[in-house]
């Protein structure tokens, strides 16, 4: 194998990840930094990369302020309620007040938005969601990023961030490799905006053969959003707040349009409305939170999970009535075709026509992400005008590392962003990054070749492991000296599933299991030194695995730290089977020491936007 060439690039704003958040950041950065060098680095091809590859059928975050439909504080209350009180309300408000301008731009750019025939407004699916024909959503926003960037690098996986050697705790860029050419890429940057993917595939999925590809969140979301800041020593928050989704069985097709637009509902196998049955028991667990409207997502999951465990399954969605209307039938199918084609494939293969059959639902394995109905991610500064002083340290969306910003899945505490909110958060991070540069905060960054040459060896080591180790055996996949990326991934998934609250234990875990899980993860981390990659594609899989493993350690540490069951339906602490507002009405944060690998945990206060007259004192 020829020695890998090193390619250098210097820039002002480096956006890691070209998904919704990354394209938003790249686009906006040009407006504020006309003379700056703006680069976006994407692991795949920016035209179809990220969670929106196949498109979306709804934009789930739009206020509609122009028509008086919602105000930003309404969205904050909604998100806070859905997350059982624990969100960063400053970040949520900030995102919500800007998201409308993002959505209006998408409309101008050519994204087909459905319109309400009577009012002429965007067709609402629900209070926060509007319906779109979004098959080409990603190519459209990618075009916007391409027009702003100096260069878009595709097929490069960023594996590590670079730290400044002249000033402590300051970012200096990032490194990675090109999975086509094999070249090593060193990006020296004044600011880095991490806008990479959240984490799928860290828990064992329900289908483990070919079907493991059909995860709810994209299989290429390998947790770089977390692993990159964690490895650099940035503070993370709410990493225990994993999400479990109740979706159509096997295909994990979306149910939003069904519930909200088609007005379908769920039933157990005996045709009963099972949710009511679990009200009392849930109230014992979480108190008054069950009485909030709308019922928090995790509590609806909880009822579902309990019902199935009690033998009431399979739970299904009653569609036969709604699908008699041809318009609703079209919406029901196009909902999949523009967003999760796999669900249409499942139904076609099993002869499920919702006009005649009520399709089954299931709860997924857990995912960790920051842009959907949960908010795991980096602990970032809020906006200057509204953030409480404990939440602000200079620049909006900046992590606890100077010059390192986050957007989208990367940012913790700002839930219910979805696609439009992530793009918006990218815009916010980009503006702040440019301001940081203009304030001369990025002057004098130093990176010696020792730092990136060491990293080069680390990055390509899996290929060395394979080539050398391969000499030991005649052939096949079993080697005593290296493991393949898929072997490592399946081991990671089994550990997280059995010890950290996966589907096998019905999302249950406890102190003993979590500690055992950390031990097992520790052994896995050691063995990851011996991952063997046969080619550059496998090398990419190897680094996806490493990012997932680091994310998993952080998730497990957080899950151990929070001694309560805050989100039944997402996971349970068997040793603390109750919501505990007295001790745990707070956010959790962690920092990993880059030298020792040890995580240190802290509690952070939660601030709520409350009118004087509405507030209730904590007891």
Asked whether position 90 contacts other proteins by CB under 8 A, the answer is yes
- Which of these segments, 8-16, 98-106, 185-193, 267-275, binds other proteins (CB under 8 A)? 98-106
Q: Is the Cβ–Cβ distance between 130 and 100 less than 8 Å?
A: no
* Both tokens assigned to 216: 């709810």
- Listed in order, strand segments (DSSP E) in 319-388 are 361-363, 377-378
Residues 354-383, one symbol each (x = binds other proteins by CB under 8 A, - = not), give: -----------------------------x
| Least distance (Å) between residue 375 CB and other proteins | 17
CA–CA dist 345, 337 (Å, integer) = 10
- Judged by phi (left if over 0) then psi (alpha if -120 to 50, else beta), residue 403 lies in left
Out of 147, 151, 263, 284, name the contact with other proteins by CB under 8 A.
Answer: 147
Q: Which of residues 110-129 bind other proteins (CB under 8 A)?
A: 110-112
CB 587, min distance to other proteins, A: 12
Q: Contact region for other proteins (CB under 8 A) — 256-264, 326-334, 468-476, 564-572?
A: 326-334
Residue 502 near residue 204, CB atoms below 8 Å: yes
Q: Which stretch binds other proteins (CB under 8 A): 90-98, 397-405, 503-511, 523-531?
A: 90-98
Q: Interface with other proteins by CB under 8 A: which range of 93-101, 406-414, 546-554, 569-577? A: 93-101
* Residue among 6, 9, 70, 77 that touches other proteins (CB under 8 A): 77
Reduced to 3 states (helix: H, G, I; strand: E, B; else coil), residue 416 is coil
Question: Sign of the C-alpha dihedral, residues 112, 118, 121, 126?
Answer: negative
Instruction: Find the shortest distance in angstroms from Cβ 513 to other proteins.
Output: 27
Residues in 579-598 at the binding interface with other proteins, rule: CB under 8 A: 581, 585
Give the end-to-end CA distance of the chain in Å, rounded to a whole number: 66
Q: Is 144 in the site for other proteins (CB under 8 A)?
A: yes
Q: Are 194 and 426 in contact (CB under 8 A)?
A: no
- 503 touches other proteins by CB under 8 A: no
Please pick, from the candidates 143, 464, 534, 591, the single residue that binds other proteins as defined by CB under 8 A.
143
CA distance 92 to 371: 11
Q: Which is nearer to other proteins, 170 or 585 (CB)?
A: 585
Residue 146 buriedness (CB in 10 A; 0-12 / 13-18 / 19+) = middle
Residues 44-73 binding other proteins (CB under 8 A) are: 44-50, 53-54, 65-66, 71-73
Nearer to other proteins, 269 or 609 (CB): 609
- Residue 7 within binding range of other proteins, rule CB under 8 A: no
Residue with tokens 């965007």: 122
What is the distance between the alpha carbons of residues 279 and 299, in angstroms, rounded to a whole number? Answer: 9
Least distance CB 55 / other proteins (angstroms): 8
Enter the tokens of residue 290.
Answer: 């069950």
Check residue 50 and give left, alpha or beta (phi > 0: left; psi -120 to 50: alpha): left
Residue 164 in the binding site for other proteins (CB under 8 A):
no
User: Is there binding between residue 82 and other proteins (CB under 8 A)?
Assistant: no
For residue 151, the minimal CB distance to other proteins (Å) is 12
Site stretch for other proteins (CB under 8 A), options 9-17, 23-31, 318-326, 561-569:
23-31
Q: Which of residues 193-222 bind other proteins (CB under 8 A)?
A: 207-215, 218-220
CB of 506 to other proteins, least distance (A): 21
Kindly write out the interface string for residues 250-279 of this chain, putting x where it contacts other proteins by CB under 8 A and - elsewhere.
Answer: x-----------------------------
CA distances from 101 to 96, 97, 434, 542 (A): 10, 9, 20, 39
Q: Toward other proteins, which CB reaches closer, 314 or 597?
A: 314
556's enclosing H/E stretch is: helix 536-561
Of the residues 384, 446, 519, 529, which one makes contact with other proteins according to CB under 8 A: 384
User: Whole-number minimum distance, CB 387 to other proteins, in Å?
Assistant: 8
Pick the closest to residue 109 from 27, 33, 41, 35 (CA basis): 27
Question: What is the distance between the alpha carbons of residues 340 and 550, in angstroms, rounded to a whole number?
Answer: 29
What is the maximum alpha-carbon separation in the chain? 76
Burial of 444 (0-12, 13-18, 19+ CB in 10 A): exposed
Of 174, 66, 151, 121, residue with least CA distance to 401:
174
Query: Is residue 435 a contact residue for other proteins (CB under 8 A)?
Result: yes
Residue with smaller CB distance to other proteins, 110 or 311: 110
């Amino acid at each position: 194998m020829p020695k890998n060439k090193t390619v250098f690039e210097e820039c002002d704003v480096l956006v890691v990840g070209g998904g919704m958040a990354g394209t938003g950041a790249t686009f906006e950065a040009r407006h504020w930094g006309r003379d700056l060098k703006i680069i976006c680095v994407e692991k795949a091809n920016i035209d179809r990369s990220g969670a929106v590859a196949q498109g979306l059928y709804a934009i789930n975050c739009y206020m509609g302020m122009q028509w008086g439909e919602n105000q930003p504080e309404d969205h904050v209350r909604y998100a806070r309620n859905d997350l059982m009180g624990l969100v960063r309300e400053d970040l949520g408000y900030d995102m919500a007040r800007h998201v409308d301008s993002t959505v209006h731009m998408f409309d101008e750019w050519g994204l087909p938005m459905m319109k309400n025939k009577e009012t002429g407004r965007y067709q609402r699916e629900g209070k926060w969601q509007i319906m779109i024909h979004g098959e080409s959503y990603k190519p459209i926003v990618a075009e916007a990023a391409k027009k702003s960037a100096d260069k878009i690098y595709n097929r490069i996986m960023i594996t590590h961030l670079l730290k400044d050697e002249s000033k402590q705790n300051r970012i200096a860029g990032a490194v990675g490799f090109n999975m086509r050419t094999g070249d090593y890429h060193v990006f020296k940057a004044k600011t880095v905006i991490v806008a990479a993917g959240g984490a799928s595939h860290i828990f064992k999925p329900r289908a483990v053969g070919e079907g493991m590809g059909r995860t709810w969140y994209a299989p290429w979301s390998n947790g770089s959003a977390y692993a990159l800041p964690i490895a650099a020593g940035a503070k993370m928050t709410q990493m225990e707040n994993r999400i479990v989704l109740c979706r159509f069985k096997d295909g994990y097709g979306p149910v939003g349009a069904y519930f909200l637009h088609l007005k379908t509902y769920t039933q157990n196998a005996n045709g009963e409305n099972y949710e009511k049955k679990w009200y009392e028991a849930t109230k014992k667990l979480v108190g008054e939170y069950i009485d909030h409207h709308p019922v928090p997502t995790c509590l609806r999951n909880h009822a579902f999970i309990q019902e199935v465990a009690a033998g009431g399954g399979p739970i299904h969605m009653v569609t036969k009535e709604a699908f008699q209307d041809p318009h609703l039938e079209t919406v029901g199918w196009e909902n999949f075709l523009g967003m999760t084609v796999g669900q249409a494939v499942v139904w076609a293969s099993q002869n499920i026509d919702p006009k005649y059959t009520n399709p089954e639902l299931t709860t997924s394995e857990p995912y960790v992400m920051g842009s959907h109905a949960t908010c795991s991610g980096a602990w970032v500064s809020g906006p200057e005008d509204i953030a409480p002083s404990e939440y602000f340290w200079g620049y909006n969306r900046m992590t606890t590392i100077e010059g390192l910003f986050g957007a989208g899945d990367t940012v913790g505490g700002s839930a219910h962003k979805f696609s439009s909110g992530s793009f918006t958060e990218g815009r916010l991070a980009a503006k702040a990054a440019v301001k940081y540069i203009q304030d001369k905060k990025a002057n004098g960054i130093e990176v010696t070749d020792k730092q990136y040459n060491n990293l080069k060896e680390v990055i390509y080591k899996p290929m060395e492991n394979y080539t050398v180790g391969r000499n030991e055996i005649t052939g096949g996949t079993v080697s005593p000296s290296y493991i393949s990326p898929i072997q490592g991934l399946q081991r990671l998934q089994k550990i997280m599933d059995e010890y950290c609250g996966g589907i096998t234990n019905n999302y249950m875990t406890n102190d003993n299991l979590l500690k055992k899980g950390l031990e097992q993860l520790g052994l896995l981390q050691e063995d990851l030194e011996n991952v063997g990659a046969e080619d550059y594609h496998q090398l990419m899989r190897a680094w996806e695995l490493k990012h997932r493993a680091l994310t998993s350690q952080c998730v497990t540490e957080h899950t151990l730290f929070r001694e309560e069951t805050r989100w039944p339906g997402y996971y349970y602490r068997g040793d603390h089977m109750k919501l505990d507002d007295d001790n745990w009405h707070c956010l959790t944060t962690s920092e990993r020491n880059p030298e020792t690998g040890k995580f240190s945990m802290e509690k952070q206060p939660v601030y709520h936007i409350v009118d004087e007259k509405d507030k209730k004192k904590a007891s």
